[in-house]
Structure 1
């Protein structure tokens, strides 16, 4: 048996009176026994006018106002089936003769297993649907905001993943289509007031044709009032509807833009500047072709923000490219002219890092030493751009001076360089190989080779090993003479080791930097094995052809400079 506290009837009465929904209690015969105040308000009927009346006959109506048959009434079915029922769309007749759209639920009231009545809760379905619509609109707005924030985050990541401006803008277009627009095009300002279309992205498999193709456009006119020209000259974002798209162009640049929008069938578009606080770098055009889903003023803040982010990315990429070009030019000009060391042959190659990558401090050097030996050096200064190029020059000049100063093994020269490097230069760390090509015999210079032949003596400071290739096509890496890279030891470093290897007639010694063998898609051992195979295949070629062939055959994909220095002894 259910027990109640003494105050329970008061609580139940308060719930009945204050419930924010209509409540009607009926007996077993569907006569109304009780009506709460909210039901009176919704039905515009006083409780006294409803008590004792048949619920179905008094209140229940179809949508057209007619009385529903009792055997079809779901409300009366609760009495027969003694099960709860719910109807989301129904009508009750108000006291003023109007129909009230309602949603209701009814449950039987049982005592000792017998149904003695039914309690019915109902509410105005119009208000309920409005609340549901408001909630759905709120959820849709939150979801749209989340999608836009996700898009902005992905765009920021894409724009910062590469320092190649045109590649970044093409990636941007592929993010915008189809998530924000059906088409996207990017036009950049280039030298002398010219405009270049660098990216056009549309639905997969759809080509807009020559009308939207990439390439150089006309110069920015002085007097045109077309949207693209205004944006390129610093105007804010512009929203275009069908009338603006159909407007006749007033300049060659406007013709290109209008023709592009017509060719793709645009019904709305937005043009925003790609800008930084200092300048406008270009313009982004996004367009939709669906008349039922046009771009609107609500889209402008998002697209304007995308334009600012893209503008900053382009500015950063251009600044980097200028610095990179200066560094590459400086680095190339600092590389030495190779000496004539006949009857030995000497060849070198320098290949800058791929566009969009950072220039390193790769370098090579070759000189005839006072005792007649040939000094070969190759190295890589840790760092990038101008600082690495400048450090490379400092290190090369120091090494030249130390090698010329006295006749001693490469290990002793590199040890002295390691001791003095950080005190005299700005270089913190570097890799290096220093080698001496010596005639086997006493005191003769390289111009008068003794019958005994030649040998190479070298030391390596953390650099990839030299590759020795014989004229018959055999190849081996010279692994001796290895020590830590320059600048890696604290205090005075110990004497470094030397390696020594005889050079058979016609042999080639190949020195190189890690950009030749390090690839993003494979490990170092794979790169070294690949270089060895190509060098063996090219062993019989003239030295210049061997160097060119190696650069051609090694797969692209590295992000570093390549320096290559090759010496061949007479056959």
Structure 2
């Protein structure tokens, strides 16, 4: 008689739960794969949104490279932009290189499109290489260049034309790039082409808007014996037109009129309103020569009667000859005060009672102000884009601008306004205009310009 332990077939009895455990392992593996795929898809969508959110072309190109690296876990990335011939690289954006690696190849320059890079240019199909050195098109690396082994390259097209090629190398896990990596980067390349086209469109729009804006501004006349200089800089936001403007003209009574203004708004309507306001102001100036307050009052009434223009701020000044010297006679409509740089190279604001902006009320009195202008002094008229910054108060911006003017007070007039526009304390998100006029050292009044 034998027991169960003596049965030779006892160990061969199947485990009734073995197939369940195997199925559970398969399910767990599948769930893990699905979770990884979900995370990658989520990362891809985030990458597409990040690229689409950029507006400057240089930022778009760099973001394409870095997001592609993140998606596939690559150590190095680059984007080669093709020239007009489509056969050579005209730009090469890289990411992942350390400072030491960049220093090692600083004298080499970016590739022109030979070797495996050139292979992708000539054959714009997705390219995966497990060993770059063994590829028939490989020509090796320049001295100091990191020795890369693996490569994943895809072409980026814009409106059906190859714009450039995206290259990735060195997966962080040491493995070669796989088909899934290729699919992810191909999808990203499609979104990249759209983002590049959008950035190009915005750049062209910005250039057209800037050209339109500049065409609306006048060419300054000969204002001798005064020295005069002006500059207009559009906002950094590509799609924003502005309402800033300046003007300078000789009047029939031999006074020189200076105007700086800013129409509220940042669109085509604001730019058109600026042009209308400037034209009307010129007409009113010749009809009603003085004082500046009366000119602004009449301009305000005219605008209200014949147009539907937005609110605008203006500073109108007359530089009047007399008694062997000159006098500044001005009135403001809600605009910032002129900045006076004295012959001793000190800057001070001509703080005085302001009037209401144009388009607010025509019934309020507008004040006039006067100030003698000694020979060698400079008066700077400017718009608020020069000083406004969300992180600083208006007074801080004014103080910084005055200090900047003091530092460059001895410069030629064009050098002064260039310094103000280059180093201004504003945040650059608004357009800016400056007009500066320097009084001659001689005390003789100007000859007639009537």
TM (norm. structure 1) is: 0.64
Residue of structure 1 aligned with 2:64, choices 169, 172, 181: 172
Deviations 1:71-129 (A, max 9, x none): xxxxxxxxxxxxxxxxxxxxxx995642756xxxxxxxxxxxxxxxxxxxxx6356325
Match of 2:89 among 195, 198, 209: 195
The partner residue of 1:240 within 128, 132, 139 is 128
Q: 1:211 to 1:476 in 2, by over 3 A?
A: closer
CA contact (8 A) 2:243 2:262 kept: yes
Counting only pairs closer than 5 Å after superposition, residues 85-484 of structure 1 correspond to structure 2 as 97-98=11-12, 124-125=17-18, 127-128=20-21, 130-161=23-54, 163-180=55-72, 181-193=74-86, 195-202=89-96, 204-205=98-99, 207=101, 210=105, 217=112, 226-231=119-124, 238-242=126-130, 246-249=134-137, 264-276=147-159, 279-289=161-171, 293-353=175-235, 358=240, 360-384=242-266, 389-421=271-303, 428-438=310-320, 446=321, 449-451=322-324, 453-461=326-334, 463-484=335-356
2: distance between equivalents of 1:179 and 1:485?
A: 54
Higher relative contact order, chain-length normalized (CA < 8 Å, sep 6+)? 2
Matched positions, count: 432
* Matched residue SS, 2:278: helix
Residue pair 2:292, 2:368 contacting (<8 A) in 1 also: no
- Consecutive unaligned residues of structure 1, counting only runs of 5 or more, are 1-52, 59-92, 102-122, 439-445
* Stretches of structure 2 lacking an aligned partner (at least 5 in a row): 442-450
Distance 1:171 1:225, change over 3 A: closer
Which of 520, 527, 544 in structure 1 is aligned with 2:397?
Answer: 527
CA distance in 2, matches of 1:195, 1:388: 42
How far apart are 1:365 and its partner, in Å? 0.7
Q: By how many angstroms is 1:454 displaced? A: 0.9
CA–CA distance in structure 2, aligned partners of residues 345 and 173 of structure 1: 50
Contact 1:362 1:563 in 2 (8 A): yes
* Contact kept in structure 2, 1:211 and 1:263, CA below 8 Å: no
Structure 1 residues 410 and 308, CA gap change in structure 2 (3 angstroms) = farther
Say whether 1:501 aligns with 2:370. yes
Distance 1:429 1:272, change over 3 A: farther
Question: Normalization by structure 2: what TM-score?
Answer: 0.79
In structure 2, relative to structure 1, the CA distance for the partners of 1:556 and 1:428 (3 Å cut) is closer
| Post-superposition CA distance 1:511-532 (Å, at most 9, x none) | 1122322346544332211111
Displacement, 1:383? Answer: 4.7
In the TM superposition, what is the alpha-carbon distance from 1:201 to its structure 2 partner?
Answer: 1.1
Whether the aligned pair in 2 keeps the contact of 1:380 and 1:431 (CA below 8 Å) is yes
Alpha carbons of 1:159 and 1:217: their partners in 2 closer, same or farther (altered >3 Å)?
farther
How far 1:466 moved relative to its partner? 1.7
Q: Following the alignment from structure 1 to structure 2, what is the Cα–Cα distance between the partners of residues 474 and 212?
A: 47
CA contact (8 A) 1:411 1:498 kept: yes
Helix, strand or coil: the match of 1:465?
Answer: coil
Equivalent in the alignment of 1:45? none
Quote the Cα distance in structure 2 between the aligned partners of 1:559 and 1:132. Answer: 58
Question: Do the aligned partners of residues 248 and 325 (structure 1) sit closer, same or farther apart at CA in structure 2, a change above 3 Å counting?
Answer: same
Q: 2-side partners of 1:400 and 1:272: how far apart?
A: 56
